[in-house]
Structure 1
Amino acid sequence: MIIRPCEESDIPAITAIYGHWVTHGRASFELEAPAEAEIARRRAAVLDGGYPYLVAEEEGEILGYAYATAYRPRPAYRFTVENSVYVRPGGARRGAGRALLDALIEECTRRGFRLMVAVIGDSANNPSIGLHAAAGFTHTGVLPGIGWKHEQWLDTVLMTRELGEGRSTPPVG
């Protein structure tokens, strides 16, 4: 398995992976799976914003993807990123999620970010919560019943991980 920057040619695979989780899962609070053109637009926005967008590939197959975005738009948040990690259906427990998250952490640290926030859909999403905990994230809160999807109220779990020097020193820039 290799972790590499996302290319435009990866858009169909990413669209299929994300579309599955939008339709069948509770990690994303979107209700309609976006088309390839929208995924391509979102990818461009991530890259144009100076954030990393990665894929895990094995034998020519995309196993998953991960990217970081601004946590919130206000300038004081400029050293904080929010992560997203998705693995293809049936692809769990092959190490792609952990490899992607580790590479994303490393790349965001290299770019000078100081905090990564995981906004995890559904407090019963034990695979994602476990993945983030194994990567050094700590539980920082739950927003109970904040979303309505699949005929039920869903929580959002917040987890954070300091990057680089974290809060110990002032940032540069």
Structure 2
Amino acid sequence: MTNVRALTESDLPAVAAVYGHYVTGSVATFDETPPALDQWRAKADGIAGAGLPFLVAEVDGQVAGYAYASQYRPKPAYRHTLEDSIYLAPGFTGRGLGGLLLGELIAQVRRTPAHRLVAVIADSGDPASARLHKAFGFEEAGRLSAVGFKHGRWIDTVLFQLALD
């Protein structure tokens, strides 16, 4: 059984493990060291404190992925622009969980004062994330060329945005 629900404290180790997989084995994130559990706790508390969603996809009692919305940038004029983050556990990709998470995330973000939702996607050569965002109405807004260097190579990011109102 698959369920998308709000993050709980007990989900944090699984969330950290999912993200750690991408930190160490991919260029999907530009982090190079997996955040510690206390850093995840602080992130989750900050997201909740801002009134924003942090969701998990649970399959048969196991955290199979997560998604959250956070402030796009810290400067005050960006206060109505959010950024999404979505990661699926290894072995759970290609099952539609990304769509379930993103759909629910967008629905919850629409209930906030946010005006735009932004996705910053590393151009790793895998089109899955861009395809997912386009399916939910995100439009490509630009490319930043060779802005990240990880695992011995330069990586572009592609910016997507969704109008929320």
Q: Please, what TM-score do these two structures have when normalized by structure 2?
A: 0.95
Cα deviation, 1:45-74, whole Å, max 9, x if unaligned, reads 111122110001121011100000111122
Q: Counterparts in 2 of 1:52-131, with a 5 A limit? A: 52-131=53-132
Structure 2 distance, partners of 1:90, 1:101, is: 18
Question: Given that residues 27 and 125 in structure 1 are in contact (C-alpha distance below 8 angstroms), is that contact kept between their aligned partners in structure 2?
Answer: no
Return 37-46 or 80-89, whichever deviates more. Answer: 37-46
Give 1:121 deviation, angstroms: 1.5
Give 1:123 deviation, angstroms: 5.0
Give 1:125 deviation, angstroms: 3.3
RMSD of equivalent CA atoms: 1.0
> Structure 1 pair 156/123, CA: closer, same or farther in 2 (3 Å)?
same
Structure 2 distance, partners of 1:125, 1:142, is: 16
1:144 partner letter: S
Structure 2 distance, partners of 1:50, 1:112, is: 10
Structure 2 distance, partners of 1:125, 1:138, is: 18
Structure 2 distance, partners of 1:148, 1:61, is: 33
The aligned counterpart of 1:31 is 32
Structure 1 distance, partners of 2:4, 2:33, is: 28
Unpaired runs of 5+ residues, structure 1, are 166-173
The aligned counterpart of 1:169 is none
Give 1:35 deviation, angstroms: 1.8
The aligned counterpart of 1:8 is 9
Structure 2 distance, partners of 1:98, 1:130, is: 10
Question: Given that residues 53 and 68 in structure 2 are in contact (C-alpha distance below 8 angstroms), is that contact kept between their aligned partners in structure 1?
Answer: yes
% identity of equivalent residues: 44
1:106 partner letter: A
User: Which 4+ residue blocks in structure 1 deviate beyond 6 angstroms?
Assistant: none
Cα deviation, 1:64-122, whole Å, max 9, x if unaligned, reads 00000111122222111000000001211111111000100000001121210001122
Q: Secondary structure at the match of 2:19?
A: helix
Aligned positions, number: 164
Q: Secondary structure at the match of 1:110?
A: coil
1:10 partner letter: D
Structure 1 distance, partners of 2:103, 2:150, is: 30
Question: Given that residues 123 and 157 in structure 1 are in contact (C-alpha distance below 8 angstroms), is that contact kept between their aligned partners in structure 2?
Answer: no
Give 1:16 deviation, angstroms: 0.6
